Amino acid sequence: MHRIFILSPANSGGERARLIFNPRAGFDLARRLQRGEKLPVGEIFSFLSGLYFRGKYTYSRRFANPPAKVVQGAYVITSNRGLISVEEPLSLADLEDFSTVPIEHDEPRYFKPLQTDARALARKAGRDCEVVLLGSIGTKKYAEPLMEFFGERLLFPASFVGRGDMSRGGLLLRCVADERELEYVPVSGAIRHGKRPEKLKPKSWGYKISEGKTPAPK
């Protein structure tokens, strides 16, 4: 089965974003961006969001299986550029640009580019490709604009229901370490809120989120 992933975004205007812009920042990711380098949006958003986005980023890269007409297997929602590949290189100016537009379902600068890209991606992917949303389905911001074009093909992990962001991120990293893909169910008609599942047992991932390193589960 062909499958592509769409990831909800990280906050480009929050406290961790301010760390990147701080000229006194001593970590590698900030220094490289401030020197004018461009880095993959997946790496930048993994720093901004921490465990949750890193889990989505790592999981989607491992399990994506795009059809021939779709170049990339994982895309991230942005505030004003619709869908971009998780490998799309971004500059510090790009990140600042993202922070100027709120991600709200009634903000045209957000939903119009998203609709344009979702329509194009749905056409390229075809009817036999599943599209998995790795993000909240309890809000109108993500699921509603995508369902218009993907319909029943828009899925999400059933085990996300009831979990918080950190728990979801940890679950996704465990799945990659165990070579185990989650069960997906259609967003349409799904139970979007549920009882909180049991907490994941502690596990050492062998990396620090602030360093932006790829997890190496122990």
Residue 129 CA to chain centroid, in angstroms? 19
Residue 186 lies in a domain: yes
In this prediction, residue 112 carries a pLDDT of: 97
Band of residue 214 on the pLDDT scale cut at 50, 70, 90:
very low
User: How far is it, in rounded angstroms, from Cα 37 to Cα 90?
Assistant: 8
Residue 159 lies in a domain: yes
Q: Are 98 and 80 in contact (CB under 8 A)?
A: yes
Inter-CA distances, 113 with 145, 198, 210, 211, Å: 10, 38, 31, 32
Band of residue 211 on the pLDDT scale cut at 50, 70, 90:
very low
Residue 84 lies in a domain: yes
Give the residue from 75, 43, 197 showing the smallest Cα distance to 142: 75
This prediction has a pTM of 0.86
Checking if the pLDDT of 207 tops 50, the result is: no
Give 159-191 pLDDT, tens digit per residue.
998 889 999 999 999 999 999 999 999 998 765
Give 106-151 pLDDT, tens digit per residue.
999 999 999 999 999 999 999 999 999 999 988 889 999 999 999 9
Residue 150 lies in a domain: yes
- For 61-87, b/e burial (b = at least 16 CB within 10 A) is bebbebeeebebbbbbbbbbbbbbebb
- Please, what is the average pLDDT of the chain? 89
**CA angle 71-77-80, nearest 5°?**
110
Which residues pair with residue 186 across a beta bridge? 155
Residue 125 CA to chain centroid, in angstroms? 19
Structural domain that includes position 201: 2-211
In this prediction, residue 72 carries a pLDDT of: 95
Band of residue 1 on the pLDDT scale cut at 50, 70, 90:
confident
Residue 217 lies in a domain: no
Residue 216 lies in a domain: no
Q: Are 48 and 15 in contact (CB under 8 A)?
A: no
Residue 218 lies in a domain: no
How many domains, in total, are found in the chain? 1
Residue 167 lies in a domain: yes
Checking if the pLDDT of 193 tops 50, the result is: no
Sequential DSSP letters for 120-137: HHHHHH-TTEEEEEES-S
